[in-house]
Structure formats: structure tokens, C-alpha cells
Amino acid sequence: MPEAAVRRPSLGSKLMRLLVVIHRWIGIVACLFFVVWFVSGLVLMYVHFPAMSSDEKLATLPPIEWGDVLVTPDEALKADGTSAFPRKFWLEMSGRQPVYRLHGWFGENSAISATDGRRISRVEPDDALQTIQLNLDAPGATLLAIDLRSDQWTVAGYWDGHRPFHVIALNNPADTHYYVSTASGEIVLDTVHWERFWNYLGAVPHWIYFEFLRSDVELWFWVIIVLSAIGIVGAFSGLWLGISRIRLRHRDAGTSISPFLGWMKWHHITGIVGGIFLFAWIVTGLLSMYPGGFLEQRSVTRNELQQFAGNAAPYVVENPGDCSRFGINEKPRVRIIVKCDFETGQFFDAESGVPVFITGNQTFRCD
């Protein structure tokens, strides 16, 4: 008889060995990513990505010189030439002149001088510097960058309507930098040294937000997708291997359900439990990128927002009509919102400056 044939491994055995190799090497590399992700996440909990809050923005604005406001809001809208009421519309000081600022529905931003109705189409570096020096009483401020298209803190598409920027350094102990939009002269962002430093250890690695990568939206998107897919393969292979090696039957009394000893045993047991959460976390993280538009959220449309606001036409009602049918016999007075955030809004009487509180039954549309 011929020598006993060497037993060849089955297809299932080969697949299991392949899964071991895949899980081992993906796990080694992924562990480094997860350490960075967890540490950077702790930093991100306490140091957010640079942004200008409403309070910080208000601190950069001096009181409005009402004597120089010679253009009405309605005239400013006409001078801008917009075909619909803007998403945001307000009055503020820009250096020595009051300006109306308009944020459109499609990211476009513009500014109209409240003194002569002139549309501000370009803000020169010296004008931006003067605005910071006057608004913040910072005579030592200097130009740091001119016509900056993008940097680490303005790489997101959110800033497209404001580009390019003039960057002004206050040269103060906090090393504060202010970003002024050349399109409108608006102060749109501030950063300080400690904030920039910690974000390089927090948000930037956590979101894989490196400027060279994030500036290419398509490339950044696919890097996230591919890394997530690799993580899913690593987590799934570990779960499959872990579950397949559990000994629930045909084992001696007092023996463990795991065939491994020492650290391998701990890895086996905790890996199965933690792997379930890890697998779900990576999959849901991948879905949050809405690959191919899958499960993408529907945002509120422009028409819906304007219907809620009650006015889509580009004009401001200066003389409310007859409201007697609502039981109001006196002429309504105009109220101005001077501060409003996501949780609370404060109204002030435009004539006396006294805070007022408006309830739902006090809100009417008078045509």
C-alpha cells in the first residue's frame, strides 16, 4: 500500500487560519488608532474646536452709532438686490461705520453700509486691521495673514461664504488671532494659543481633521469610510473566532469555557463581550457618514423656515396694518431681538430698552 496520504486541511480550517491572520494584524494596527481616538476624545470633551460664540462675537462689537444709521433696513435689502428675505439680517458696527449684514440661504454673505447704502464687496487688509483695533481697543494688533483661503481652523465648507480671510494677531499674552471675512468685513472667528495647541491633540486627530486631508472633502470622506470598513472586518473576525472557540459542551467539570490560558483567556472572554459593542459602534459610526445617502437626515428646507417666519419677500414691514380684528386697538410697537441663543431668547422694547416677555397669544400677523 502507498504511504498514508498527508491529510489536507479543509476549506473551513483554511478560512479560520485566514481569519486569525486578518484579526491579528488589523488588531495590532487598530489598537494604535483606538488609543489615539480615546485619548483625543478625552481632550475634546474639555477643549472644543475653535468657534466664536454669540457672547464672544458680542464682545468684539462696540455700541451702534445710531446717528450714523441713515439707511433703513428696507433700503438695505433693496441695495443688496436679494430676491428673498435673508436667513439672517442684522445691524452692527464695523470699525467706524454701522453696517447691515445679510446671510443668505445658500451660504452667501454680504454687507451694506448703513450710512450711505453702499454694498461692501471687498474689505482691504488695512480696513480689517482698523476694525479690530477700534472694536477691541487693541492698537498693538498686526496683520498675520492676508487673503487666507484656508487653514486648520477654517478648512470646513462652513466657511466658504466668508473666504478669504484677513487674520489679525492681537499680540497679547493669550496670542489671540481674529479672522475677518474679506467679503463683508465681519469678524467670524477667534482662536487663542492654548485652544490651538490642545486641538492638535484633541479634535484634529479625533476627527482625522488634518488640513491637508480635510481640504479635499471627497478624499477625507473615503478615508473615513475605508478605515471604518477595515475596523468592521477586524471586529467581526474577532467575534467569529471568539464565539467559535467557546466550549459549552463536551468539557470536564470545573474547566473553563475558554480553551486558552492567561492573557489569551482574558482576551477571549472580554473580547467577545467588548467586541459586540465595538462592532455596533463602528457600524453605527460608518452609517453616521451616510454612505451613498443611506439614512441621510432631511434638514428643514428654506421654504419651511420662511413659512414659519411669515415673510419670504425681501422687505421689512414698517407700518403694521389694522389689528383690531385681533382685539388690539393700539398700534403695535416694534420689538427687536438683541440676544438669542438655542435655549432662550431675550426681547427688548425698541423705544424704552426695557426687557419684555412675549407669549404665544401676543403674537399676531397684521396685514
Cα of first residue to Cα of last residue in the chain, in angstroms, is 106
pLDDT at 117: 92
Give the list of residues 6+ apart from residue 287 with CB closer than 8 angstroms, or none. 294, 295
pLDDT at 10: 79
Give the list of residues 6+ apart from residue 351 with CB closer than 8 angstroms, or none. 333
pTM, two decimal places = 0.76
| Amino acid occupying residue 82 | T
Query: In the chain, how many H helices and how many E strands?
Result: 10, 11
**Strand arrangement, sheet containing 109-113:** 88-94, 97-103, 109-113, 119-120
pLDDT at 360: 52
Q: What is the pLDDT of residues 91-115, one digit of tens each?
A: 999 888 999 999 888 778 899 999 9
How do beta strands 97-103 and 88-94 pair?
Answer: antiparallel
pLDDT at 197: 97
CA gap 93, 184 in Å, rounded:
12
- In this prediction, the residues of the chain whose per-residue pLDDT falls under 50 are 1, 320-329, 331-343, 363-367
* Residue appearing with cell numbers 493669550: 174
pLDDT at 189: 96
Sign of the torsion formed by the C-alpha atoms of 213, 217, 219 and 222: positive
How far, CA to CA in Å, does 162 sit from each of 82, 95, 100? 18, 18, 16
Residues present in the chain in total: 367
| Amino acid occupying residue 192 | V
Helix residue spans in the chain (DSSP H): 11-46, 54-59, 73-80, 125-135, 193-201, 203-206, 211-214, 217-244, 263-287, 302-309
Cell of 21: 491572520
